[in-house]
Amino acid sequence: MSAENIAKLSVIAPVVPIKSETTDYAERLNYLGELFDIETKATDAINSINNAIASAKAKYNSLNIADKEVNVFSYYNGLEILIGNYYFFNTILYNQLCVRVPQPVQDVFDEGGFFFSISNEFLPDYCGDYIYLLMDAIPSDLAENEVWQSLEAVQAGRVGLLDMMLYVSADAIYIETQYTYLVNALELAFAD
């Protein structure tokens, strides 16, 4: 919320902006702890989240898959790469767990924006060892696509589905579940 909007609304009633635009849960929890005089509870919550994240990282590291590349795609009339930390699964996978991403995808991340559509003929260039789709099922037009069917990850059955709604928010309430869900999905994906 802008300072201008806060000033306008403050004429009506006191305004307390919540820092929802940041993915830094500790910053938000500390702010709320100070605001409501519950700093100890905020610190306890931060410590609990940090422990859950450390546990998820340890589990990921124990999988010995640091050399594998993982993609996450959305699908709206074609495959798309969702870009940036706005999509919290990117923050968890690529910034926190340091999962590898194919170089063409990293180039897309570096260019910025919100999403990047991929033409079918270039799809093989963007796909790594494992592919996740942010949906509950693989769309039939994608499943029947010859380029999709030719991908090594698809032929090897290394395609998973993720619930996009779980990653819409970087809310402290969901963080443990978000990390656990992703690490469990990776463990299942690379199980021999």
Whether residues 57 and 84 share a domain: the answer is no
Whether residues 52 and 98 share a domain: the answer is no
Whether residues 41 and 135 share a domain: the answer is no
Tally helices (H) and strands (E) across the chain: 10, 5
Whether residues 37 and 108 share a domain: the answer is no
Question: Which residues, at least 6 apart from 43, have a Cβ–Cβ distance to it below 8 Å?
Answer: 30, 33
Whether residues 164 and 74 share a domain: the answer is yes
Whether residues 57 and 74 share a domain: the answer is no
Q: Which of 12, 32, 62 is the last residue of a domain?
A: 62
Whether residues 52 and 121 share a domain: the answer is no
Domain enclosing residue 37, as ranges: 3-62
Whether residues 82 and 167 share a domain: the answer is yes
Of 176, 112, 167, whose CA–CA distance to 134 is shortest? Answer: 167
- For residue 53, count other CB atoms closer than 10 A to its CB: 19
Q: Which two tokens stand for residue 36?
A: 């409501």
Whether residues 20 and 78 share a domain: the answer is no
Whether residues 184 and 105 share a domain: the answer is yes
Of 95, 183, 189, 82, whose CA–CA distance to 135 is shortest? Answer: 82
For residue 146, the model assigns a pLDDT of 94
0.85 cut: is pTM over it?
Answer: no
For residue 45, the model assigns a pLDDT of 92
Domain of residue 181, CATH code: 3.40.50.1980
User: Residue 75 is inside which H or E element, if any?
Assistant: strand 70-75
Q: CA-to-CA distance for 152 and 160, rounded, in angstroms?
A: 14
For residue 1, the model assigns a pLDDT of 66
Whether residues 109 and 159 share a domain: the answer is yes
Reading the chain (192 residues) residue by residue, the pLDDT tens digits are 678 888 888 899 888 777 666 667 888 889 889 989 999 999 999 999 899 889 989 998 898 888 999 988 888 877 777 766 666 788 888 888 888 988 988 888 888 877 888 888 888 998 999 998 888 888 898 899 999 999 999 999 889 888 887 777 667 778 888 888 888 888 887 776
Q: Which of 13, 38, 62 is the last residue of a domain?
A: 62
Domain count for the chain? 2
Whether residues 115 and 49 share a domain: the answer is no
130 — phi, psi (to 5°)? -140, 140
Q: CA-to-CA distance for 67 and 33, rounded, in angstroms?
A: 40
